[in-house]
A and B are shown apart, each in its own frame.
Chain A
Amino acid sequence: MIVPLVGAELRRIVGRRGSFYGSIAFAALIVVIAILAANPNDDDTAVEIVAVAGRYAGLLGVVVMGALAGSYDTANGTMRYLVLTGVPRWKLAVVRLLGIMLAVLPMAVLILAVGIAWGASTGDLDGTSVLDSLWAVVITLWTWGLVSCSVGMLMRSNGPAIAVSIVLFFGGTLITGLVYGLISETLASYLLPSVFEQVASLEGTNGDGDFAIALGAAFAGLVVWLGALTALAIVRTNRDEY
C-alpha cells in the first residue's frame, strides 16, 4: 500500500518543477564551477572535489525541496483531502519523508556521475574515493532533506519552512562553533552539524578531522537528531486539524 503513496508523493515533488529541477540545475552549476576552478591532487581526488561542491550546493536545493514537501499540502489546503482518503495521518507523514529521500537521488546520481566522468578523464579515479563520495553526497542530501521536510511539517507554511530550514543549517553551524569555543568541545560534537559532518566523512577520533567523539557515537547522535525531528513532525501531523 505504501508504494503507490510514495509514487504519488514523488509526482508531487517532481511536479513542483521550480524547486526540483532548479535544485538539480544549481548543484550542476556549482559542480561545473568547481571543475573549472579546482585541480585534483593527492589530497583531493576529482570525485571528492565534485562531491564536496555538489553536496553543499545540493543541500541548499534539498532544503527548499524538503521544506516544500513538508509544508505544501497543509499550506495549499490539499492535506484535508489526503486525510479524507482514509490513509492514516502518520503514514502520510512517513510517505513525505520517504518521498524526499527518493527525490534527492537524481541529484546525487548527477553529482557522482560528473565526478566519476571527470576523474576518469584525468586518470584520477579509485574505488575508495568514489564510495566515500557516494556516501557523503547521499547522507548530506538525506539528512538535510529529512530535516527540512520535518521543519516543513512543523511549520505548515511554505515560506517560513524554507527560511527556518536554511537558518537551521547556517545557524546550527554557527551555534556549534560557539558551543565548541565557549562551552564544551564534547557537547559541540553531539550537535547536529558536527555529527552530520563526522558521519558524512566516516572519520573517528583517529582521523585528521579533529572529531572528539567516536564514529559510532556520531552515528547514534545523528540518528537521535533525525529521529527526534521526524517524530515531532509525525506527531504534529497526527494531531493537527485540517
Chain B
Amino acid sequence: MEPVISLHNVTKRFGQNVAVDSVTIDVPRGQCFAWLGPNGCGKTTLIRMVLGLARASSGSIKVRGLSVPGETQQALARVGAIVEEPRFYPYLTGQKNLEIWAAHQGGDARRQIAPSLDRVGLTSRKDDKVGGYSLGMRQRLGVARALLNDPELLVLDEPTNGLDPAGLQEFRNMIKELVREGRSVFISSHILNEVELMADHLAIIEKGKMITHGSLDDLKRGGSHAIAVRTDDVAAAEPLLRALPFALDVVRKGTDTLDVKVESIEDAMLLQTGRELFSAGVGVIELRKEGETLERRFLELTGGLAGELGGKMGGVTPGGASAPAPTTEPGA
C-alpha cells in the first residue's frame, strides 16, 4: 500500500542551524503514527514542511502520493491538521469559526460542521465565543476543524496539550476511532506515555535527526531486557548473577542494584535468580523485570534525552539510563 506520507532526505536549515536533518521515512496508511521527541527537536518544522507551510531546504515530500510543494492543493484536499496551536478568531463563536473554514474548503465541509462539533463534544458550546474557550476546548475545536474535509490523513501537532485526564482519555479514544474508520493519523508529541497508548508506529527524533522508527512492538522488542536485582550484598551477588545461564551481562545500577541483561525475560528466570541468591545466603530486597517499555527503549536510544521531556517520564530517571546506542537504526 502506498504510504500516506513519504519523506526522502528532507532537510530544513535556518541559516547555520539544521532544524530537520535528512529525514527519510514512509508513514503507513490507516495507522496512528507518532513523531516523538523533545521540544525544539524539529517536530513542528517537519510538520510544517509536510503541509506545505514551509519549504524544505532539500529533499522531497509526498503526501497521499502527491508532491509537496507542487501539488499541495490536491495533496491537502483531504488532510486535516493542527499545527503548533489550534488558532481561531477569538471574537467569533465556535460555529462561526468553523463556517469560515468551511467556506474556504468548499464542497461538503459546511454539512460536516454539526457532526464534527458533536464528535468533539462541543455542540453545547458552539454559540460561545472562542475567546472564552479553555485550551482544551480549543484543541477539540481544532480537531473539529480538521475533520471538516473528511480527511484521509490527520496531522496533529502536540494535540493533547491542555487536555485534562478525562479529556486525554476521550482524545485517545477518538484517535483510535478515527484509525478504525480507515483514516491515517500523524501526531507529534513529547510525551512518551501518551504515544505508547495511541500509536501503532513511531519515529524518534533528536536534534532534527531521526534516530529510529518502526512499529511500537518492534521498537520495544528491539531494546534490551533485564532483571533488576536489589540486594543487600552487591559484591557477593554479582558473580552469582554472571554465572546464570541466561545472563548476557551484569551491570551495576546504583549502590544496591544490579541489572542482569537477558535476551528476553521469562518468569522462570526470576525464580532461578532468586533461588541462586537465596541458596548462597545473599539477601534479596527486590526482583523485577525491566524492559519492553517505550520509556526504556527511548532512554537507550537517546542516552537520557528523556530527561528533557518535562518530567513526563513517570518514575524513570535519566541518570539510570544505559549507554546510548552507538549507531542509528535503519528502522524496523
Q: Considering the chains assembled together, what is the distance between the CA atoms of A87 and B85 in angstroms? A: 21
Q: Looking at the complex, which one of B51, B83, B91 makes contact with A15 (CB distance below 8 Å)?
A: B91
Q: Is A77 an interface residue (CB 8 A)?
A: yes
**What separation, in Å, do the CA atoms of A17 and B51 have in the docked complex?**
32
The majority secondary structure among interface residues of chain A is: helix
**Are B87 and A77 touching (Cβ within 8 A)?**
yes
Q: List which A142-190 residues lie within 8 A (CB) of chain B.
A: none
Range class of the B interface residue count: 20 to 34
Contact: B105 with A78, CB < 8 Å?
Answer: no
Q: Which residues of A contact B236 (CB under 8 A)?
A: none
Known: A4-B106, A76-B87. A86 touches B77 (CB 8 A): yes
Q: Within 8 Å CB of B54, what residues of A? A: 241-242
Interface residues as binary, A29-43 with B (CB distance below 8 Å gives 1, 0 otherwise): 000000000000000
Contact A84 B76 (CB under 8 A): yes
- With CB as the reference atom, state the residue of chain A lying closest to B142: A81
Q: Which of A17, A77, A85 contacts B101 (CB 8 A)?
A: A85
Q: How far is the CA of A82 from the CA of B103 in the complex (A)?
A: 10
- The winner among A16, A76, A83 for most chain B CB atoms within 10 A is A83
B72 at the interface (CB under 8 A from A): yes
B100 interface residue per 8 A CB criterion:
yes
Q: Interface readout for A71-97 with B: 1 if CB under 8 Å, 0 if not?
A: 000001110111111111000000000
CA distance A76 to B138 in the complex (A): 14
Q: In the complex, how many angstroms separate the beta carbon of A96 from the nearest chain B beta carbon?
A: 13
A1 to B84, CA, bound (A): 29
Establish whether residues B100 and A12, one from each chain, have CB atoms under 8 Å apart when the complex forms: yes
- A8, B83: Cβ atoms under 8 Å? no
- Given A5-B104, A85-B104, A87-B104, the answer on whether A77 and B145 have CB atoms closer than 8 Å is no
Q: Return the contact of B92 from the options A7, A11, A82, A83 (Cβ within 8 A).
A: A11
Bound-complex Cα distance A11 to B93 (A)? 12
Q: How far is the CB of A169 from chain B (nearest CB, A)?
A: 26
| B73 CB within 8 Å of chain A | yes
Q: Which residues of A contact B149 (CB under 8 A)?
A: 85
- B96's partner among A11, A16, A17, A83 (CB-CB below 8 A) is A11
Residue B176 at the chain A interface, CB threshold 8 Å: no
Q: Which residue of A lies closest to B145 (CB)?
A: A81
Min CB–CB distance B48 → chain A (angstroms): 7
Q: How far is the CB of A82 from chain B (nearest CB, A)?
A: 6
Is B88 an interface position by the 8 A CB rule? yes
Q: How far is the CB of B227 from chain A (nearest CB, A)?
A: 49
* Contacts A15-B92, A80-B53 given; does A5 touch B73 at CB 8 Å: no
Cβ B85 vs Cβ A242 within 8 A: no
Contact between chains at A81 and B103 (CB < 8 Å): no
A81–B101 CB distance below 8 A: yes
Residues of A within 8 A of B85 (CB): 77
**Judging by beta carbons under 8 Å apart, are B106 and A78 in contact?**
no
Q: Write out the residue numbers on chain A whose beta carbons fall within 8 Å of the beta carbon of B91.
A: 15-17
B68 to chain A, nearest CB (A): 12
In Å, the complex CA distance between A242 and B168 comes to 28
> Within residues 69 to 89 of chain B, which ones have a CB less than 8 A from any CB in chain A?
72-74, 76-77, 79, 81, 83-85, 87-89
A82 to B88, CA, bound (A): 10
Known: A4-B106, A81-B87. A86 touches B92 (CB 8 A): no
Interface status of B304 (Cβ within 8 A of chain A): no
Instruction: Say whether, besides A16-B91, A77-B85, A88 and B106 are in contact (CB < 8 Å).
Output: no
Q: Does chain A have a CB within 8 A of B312?
A: no
Q: Which residues of B contact A5 (CB under 8 A)?
A: 103-104
Binding site for A on B (CB under 8 A): 48, 51-55, 72-74, 76-77, 79, 81, 83-85, 87-89, 91-92, 96, 99-101, 103-106, 145, 149
| Known contacts A15-B91, A88-B73; 19 further A-B pairs (Cβ under 8 A) | A4-B103, A5-B103, A8-B99, A8-B104, A11-B92, A76-B89, A77-B85, A80-B48, A81-B101, A81-B145, A83-B53, A84-B53, A84-B79, A85-B104, A86-B74, A86-B77, A241-B55, A242-B53, A242-B54
The 6 closest A-B pairs by CB, nearest first: A77-B87, A85-B104, A241-B54, A4-B103, A8-B103, A8-B100
> Can you report 7 A-B residue pairs in the complex whose CB atoms are below 8 A from each other?
A11-B92, A11-B99, A12-B89, A12-B100, A81-B81, A81-B87, A241-B55
